[in-house]
Structure 1
Amino acid sequence: MPDPNIPANPLIASIQGPPTTFLHLLGVEMSEGDLQPGNVTLRLTLRPEHCRTGGILHGGITATLLDSACGLAGASMLPETQDLVTGQLNINYVRTAKVGDTLFARGHVEHRGKRTMVCRGEIRTAEGQLVGLATATMFILDGPVQG
C-alpha cells in the first residue's frame, strides 16, 4: 500500500519528501497543477533564514530556485530510466525581495536533444515583479544519478 505521506508523482516527492530534501528544508512547494511536461512552477515564501544581512533575498536562494525550476522542467520530460544534472547555469539577478514575499520560480524546456536540454527559468514576486532570469544546459544521463 502506498505511503499517504509521499506524493504519487516522483518529481513532487523529490521536493516534499520524505526523505527530507534540500528544497523541502527551504520550504519550496509544488503541487500537481504546477507540473506539466517541460514546465514547472515552484513557490517559496521568504523567511528570515532565506535572507542576507539587511533582510534581503540571498543570491544563493535565487540560484537554487532557478536551477531547481530548470532541472525539474527538464526531468518532467524524461522517462524514469534517465536523469539529468546541471552542466551550466547563467543567472541575471534583476531585483531583490524581502521576508514575507512569495516567489514563483518557473522553468521551461526550450530545447531537448539526445544528451542535453536547454532550459529557461525566471522568478517573479506575487505582484509580477521580475527577480531573476536564468538559462541552463542540462546533461541527460542514462539511469539515476548516483552519489
Structure 2
Amino acid sequence: MTMEMQTAAPGIWGEPRSKTVTWYDPVAAAQTGLALSGLEYMRAMASGQLPPAPIVSLLGGAAAMSVAEGEVGFTCVPDESVYNPIGLVHGGLVCTMLDSAIGCAFHTTLPPGIGYTSIEIKINYLRPVRADTGEIRVRGWVTKPGRRVGFGEGEVRDGEGKLLASASSSLLVLSN
C-alpha cells in the first residue's frame, strides 16, 4: 500500500463496524454432556437447557435447531463480518457450519461419555453466499454410524430452498 493510499484510505473505507460476541463456558457444558447420550446432549442444547457452543455465537448461527437421531439442522444469518476479500461470505463459514451439522448429527448416535472429531470433510460450493442472502439452513445427517469411524453428509440451503453447498465427511469416535 502506498503512502498516498494509507492517507486516503480511512475516508474511502467508510465508518468502522464492530460486532460483539457473547458466549458461555464451553467446558461446563461439555462436562455436563459427558453424562448424557449424544442425542440427549444435542436436545438439551436445542431446548436451551445447555448453552450452544461458542462458535455458534461467533458465526451468527443456531437461531433454530432441530435434533433427531442421526440428523441435526440449524440456521445461520451470515453478515459482512465474515466476508472474504472479494465481497462474499467466506467459504470457511459455510464449511464450519457443515462440519458442525454433520458432527452434531453423528454425535446423536453416540452413547454417554463418547465424543468424536472430524477426520475429513469435502465441500461442494454451488452458489455464492452474501449478507443479503439472509438466513441459511444447514442440515447434517448420518449415512453410516460406526464404533470407530462414521460417515455423514450435509447441505446448506437459502430461504428459497436453493442448494448453496453440500458436503460429505468422515468422523472418528473418541473414547474417554
Settle same-fold status: TM greater than 0.5. yes
Residue 61 of structure 2 corresponds to 28
Pick the structure with more helix per residue.
Answer: 2
Residue 123 of structure 1 corresponds to 156
Bigger radius of gyration: 2
Query: Do structure 1's residue 39 and structure 2's residue 71 form an aligned pair?
Result: yes
Q: Secondary structure at 2:89's aligned position in 1?
A: coil
Q: Deviations over 1:40-75 (max 9, x none)?
A: 112001111122234321110011011001000000
Residue 86 of structure 1 corresponds to 118
Q: Secondary structure at 2:164's aligned position in 1?
A: strand
Residue 53 of structure 1 corresponds to 85
For 2:57 and 2:149, locate their aligned partners in 1 and report how far apart those are by CA, in whole Å: 27
For 1:113 and 1:52, locate their aligned partners in 2 and report how far apart those are by CA, in whole Å: 36
TM-score normalised over the length of structure 1: 0.81
For 2:103 and 2:53, locate their aligned partners in 1 and report how far apart those are by CA, in whole Å: 18
For 2:127 and 2:115, locate their aligned partners in 1 and report how far apart those are by CA, in whole Å: 32
Q: Deviation at 1:25?
A: 1.6
Pick the structure with more strand per residue.
Answer: 1
The percent identity for this pair of structures is 27
Q: 1:77 to 1:31 in 2, by over 3 A?
A: farther
For 2:61 and 2:86, locate their aligned partners in 1 and report how far apart those are by CA, in whole Å: 22
Q: Secondary structure at 2:61's aligned position in 1?
A: coil
Moved more, 107-116 or 19-28: 19-28
Residue 98 of structure 2 corresponds to 66
* 5+ residue gaps, structure 1: 1-5
Q: Deviation at 1:24?
A: 2.1
Contact 2:64 2:75 in 1 (8 A): no
Q: Secondary structure at 1:53's aligned position in 2?
A: coil
- Name which of 132, 136, 139 aligns with 1:103: 136
Query: Do structure 1's residue 139 and structure 2's residue 175 form an aligned pair?
Result: no
> Aligned residues, how many?
135
Query: Do structure 1's residue 10 and structure 2's residue 41 form an aligned pair?
Result: yes
For 1:44 and 1:134, locate their aligned partners in 2 and report how far apart those are by CA, in whole Å: 17
Q: Deviation at 1:27?
A: 1.6
